[in-house]
Structure 1
């Protein structure tokens, strides 16, 4: 039996596993990726990708290769049974550097991530390979896997189960899923060349047959129709039935049907995400209803949160930090499930009366601008944030409002006038960002060197009205005025301790850095 050794074994080469493998490799962590299927997907499952996921792709250096393959800035139009638009979601904000709602073709993304693993990082990826079982030694987990030709063993310091809703790792660990499974069935139809050229999502909120149709790049389009209880699943996949539904929505080319299937959805969260050096991520840890388009994006958040913590745990031989993974992600995914179910109720009212009430509600709030903007700008989406984990709260309520949130990504420029997105200089390490008119006055060269010994870099950001200067560390200007809003304006002359995943770990006065020292002590990060 052949043996392999690595730092992390990843089970499952869907989006979560592919992102995690790339992110670990970017942190110089050896990993092996196995997948029971013979290749990555050739048909789309997920179709929506948000600004946070695009930011992760940017962090891998792949955004320029991917951005031209997606449809950016897609809105969502909610349509009544008589064909009138009663609500619109079309956010204009680019708080994290990219539009909030975008559509993509999943095979494009998976092909890009896989190629990056194989060509840039030389990661071992084994397809047609099933995970069988594992046993534990003191310092490693020994996994038995089988391919079409051979059985072999992979020894690793950690395993991450990214193996989907039917995760074998979750079952082997006897971890339960808590929540609800829904019996209602939906017919999914993916078309190669749709005659519907509307570039936004259309949500037909008709109790007789709820339907949602989502645009994609290169003329592809998805339709999702709710099936009645009396309708037979096999008959619903018949071309005659499909033609009838598509014709009702204006489609006239039925030769381009790419995929057809019937699915039900779940709202489930695993009761434990980390057990015996094995972690769960993506659908193995949680399953989100499709109505908010956040299933895959939630898995990307898992991969981002987990990757740098695994790197830290392995490099420092200090796994304590991994306990923060579930603490930070579980509450957010619960919020995302809740908002997804709520959006599902708008699409799929229980009866005509509730549908009428829903439309009346949206009609009334359209006259109140703050409420209208809350919907239109998609502010109802749960913020990427957490209140416990790898962070350090202070005694300042305004600082605590921001600690645990994802730091924005403004457009910035340097003293030479070069303009770029912030993350282009942040990279994937810890950073201290000093937000001030004069960042150079708030840290000494001695302290800069001290932080750099622990790979903690320093960056200054000035408000839009102040030009940056050349000094011993990089200073840039917030060209897009992203930090000029009310929350961040209160933090002038403060230092933000930014984690590798771009979340704010703590905020401190730019003249003492006490909160940063406290956080380091808590997690046993020592400065020389």
Structure 2
């Protein structure tokens, strides 16, 4: 008879060890703290990096910061509606990107100052007794024992051994965690180099981004909060990295951009290369990769920082659910299933955008400008770029999802293919499953103008338009939803806010902006199951709700499934 495996040790230093105090690591630690998970962040450096790196924060990341309870502290370090203009060598606009949408509750494009936002994330950990950040901690060894992870750490006080249920390597592009576990890092690091120059007391004052597709020397000029400006210039092969320390060379680059380059208040000057790489796997046993340790991408779409935050948002609720015993460990396999595909898509779009900017051949640049002029003459194409419709939004085809047509657990087709009248007459056949739900403002009986995520809290939710979702489920189903901590919400027009107030704990939310009604008008899915990361896990008709719940429990490896 085979004996059962021994239980994991109970004298662990943390539930989750996080290697690296960058945005992915700090974001994950805050989200785990909100879920009451014990987390320990280990950072090799003596303090947070204090110079600007990432400069673009999107609406998805602001929504994650909202989930961390830190968005109000971050907003003062951002510039909302950050317009990007792609200009040619003559300064003419080739394309303008200025999305006005706020479908997820926040401005789609925002400039930000990374060191100040990272500081907010680090200080946010002080709210949690069970979360700790330690500096000058170098992870030397990692051992996955099957039931826990053990790491050997060098510290100023000498070597230490730490143990946890899981480990997340968020330790950057040169990740020692990734190397420890032997995961490949596929892709390329092109030879093109860029000189980045950050200055205080912005000498121009223009608030937006200019990407200079100038064949003489491609450049970037970017206004940031707190009167910081960033310039970036492509270096040619014959120009050594040491030009960064040559004032004459640097001032020569800046003379066409700044009236008096010799008067600038420099923060830093550095040469860097754009990388396009992705790890062969984001999980190996009890060890995970997140942020730059899992993927590197060129800066053109400002998605490196945001992709790391997406990783943390996806992984945090799954780790918490498994550690609480709500779901089996197999749920954690969906992290790689869901995140790798979108990370790869963001790398590809960033590389493609760079190819538009970087040509130094005047003939190629002229052809590009001609094509851009033709495309800009077509309003639909112009809107496509202006509203960032080209940006691949995350859509999970496999993972913690249920197909809206077949009810199959673990997968979701992008299109609804059912033949029922609700589907046949719908304005859209695009499935809402596997994508983020909108975040409008709503009213309740006691509050007004509340963002939907704040009403739900950091947990699951079942939304139903016009009815009480609690009445769709059996008593056993309701106990299961309670075990998941799910919030039940009846969405209604504002005219019906006070109708039939439920006595079963269901929350009534009034659609003060009309956005929710428009969303449900277009889709034959009046019942929506929302994951803690605000992605739609399942959706369908009212009578489908019990079957969708059963399939969802299978998809998330709920023990009762």
- TM (normalized to structure 1)? 0.94
Work out which of the residue numbers 109, 131, 136 in structure 2 matches 1:128: 136
Work out which of the residue numbers 461, 469, 472 in structure 2 matches 1:443: 472
Secondary structure of 1:170's counterpart equals helix
1:329 aligns with 2:361: no
Work out which of the residue numbers 316, 337, 348 in structure 2 matches 1:338: 348
Maintained 8 Å contact 2:472/2:542: yes
Secondary structure of 1:291's counterpart equals helix
Work out which of the residue numbers 435, 440, 461 in structure 2 matches 1:431: 461
**CA offsets per residue over residues 243-270 of structure 1, 9 Å max, x none?**
1212211253544110110001111011
**Counterpart in 1 of 2:96?**
88
Alignment CA distance shift 1:493-1:49 (3 Å): closer
Alignment CA distance shift 1:492-1:479 (3 Å): farther
Offset at residue 362 of structure 1 (A): 2.4
1:37 aligns with 2:51: no
Maintained 8 Å contact 1:186/1:264: yes
**CA offsets per residue over residues 68-95 of structure 1, 9 Å max, x none?**
2211110101112112222211000011
Q: Give the distance between the partners of 1:365 and 1:474, measured in 2 at CA.
A: 48
1:475 aligns with 2:504: no
- Bigger Cα displacement from structure 2, 290-299 vs 365-374: 365-374
Q: Give the distance between the partners of 2:498 and 2:480, measured in 1 at CA.
A: 24
Q: Give the distance between the partners of 1:197 and 1:5, measured in 2 at CA.
A: 49
1:510 aligns with 2:542: yes
- TM (normalized to structure 2)? 0.89
- Bigger Cα displacement from structure 2, 459-468 vs 163-172: 459-468
Q: Give the distance between the partners of 1:366 and 1:416, measured in 2 at CA.
A: 48
1:305 aligns with 2:314: yes
1:67 aligns with 2:67: no
1:174 aligns with 2:182: yes
Q: Give the distance between the partners of 1:489 and 1:362, measured in 2 at CA.
A: 36
Maintained 8 Å contact 1:433/1:458: yes
Q: How many residues align?
A: 524
**CA offsets per residue over residues 35-75 of structure 1, 9 Å max, x none?**
00001111111111111111111111111122122111101
Q: Alignment RMSD, CA only?
A: 2.1
Offset at residue 507 of structure 1 (A): 0.5
Q: Give the distance between the partners of 2:480 and 2:339, measured in 1 at CA.
A: 32
Q: Give the distance between the partners of 1:82 and 1:54, measured in 2 at CA.
A: 35
**CA offsets per residue over residues 400-439 of structure 1, 9 Å max, x none?**
62110011111222245611211111111111111x2344
- Bigger Cα displacement from structure 2, 358-367 vs 80-89: 358-367
Residues 16-415 of structure 1: pairs in structure 2 closer than 5 A? 16-121=24-129, 123-252=131-260, 254-316=263-325, 318-395=328-405, 396-397=416-417, 401-415=431-445
Moved over 4 A (4+): 439-442, 444-450, 463-468
Q: Give the distance between the partners of 1:399 and 1:116, measured in 2 at CA.
A: 42
**Counterpart in 1 of 2:410?**
none
**CA offsets per residue over residues 147-194 of structure 1, 9 Å max, x none?**
122111111111100010111111111111111111111000011111
Alignment CA distance shift 1:523-1:105 (3 Å): closer
Alignment CA distance shift 1:38-1:490 (3 Å): same
Alignment CA distance shift 1:53-1:522 (3 Å): closer
Offset at residue 25 of structure 1 (A): 1.1
Maintained 8 Å contact 1:136/1:142: yes
Maintained 8 Å contact 1:212/1:224: yes
Q: Give the distance between the partners of 1:104 and 1:523, measured in 2 at CA.
A: 35
Residues 446-461 of structure 1: pairs in structure 2 closer than 5 A? 446=475, 448=478, 451-461=481-491
- Bigger Cα displacement from structure 2, 149-158 vs 365-374: 365-374
Q: Give the distance between the partners of 2:50 and 2:557, measured in 1 at CA.
A: 45
Offset at residue 466 of structure 1 (A): 5.8
Secondary structure of 1:208's counterpart equals coil
- Bigger Cα displacement from structure 2, 360-369 vs 255-264: 360-369
Maintained 8 Å contact 2:194/2:273: yes
Offset at residue 124 of structure 1 (A): 2.0
Maintained 8 Å contact 1:468/1:477: no
**CA offsets per residue over residues 296-315 of structure 1, 9 Å max, x none?**
10000000000111111212
Offset at residue 136 of structure 1 (A): 3.2
Secondary structure of 1:71's counterpart equals strand
Offset at residue 350 of structure 1 (A): 4.7
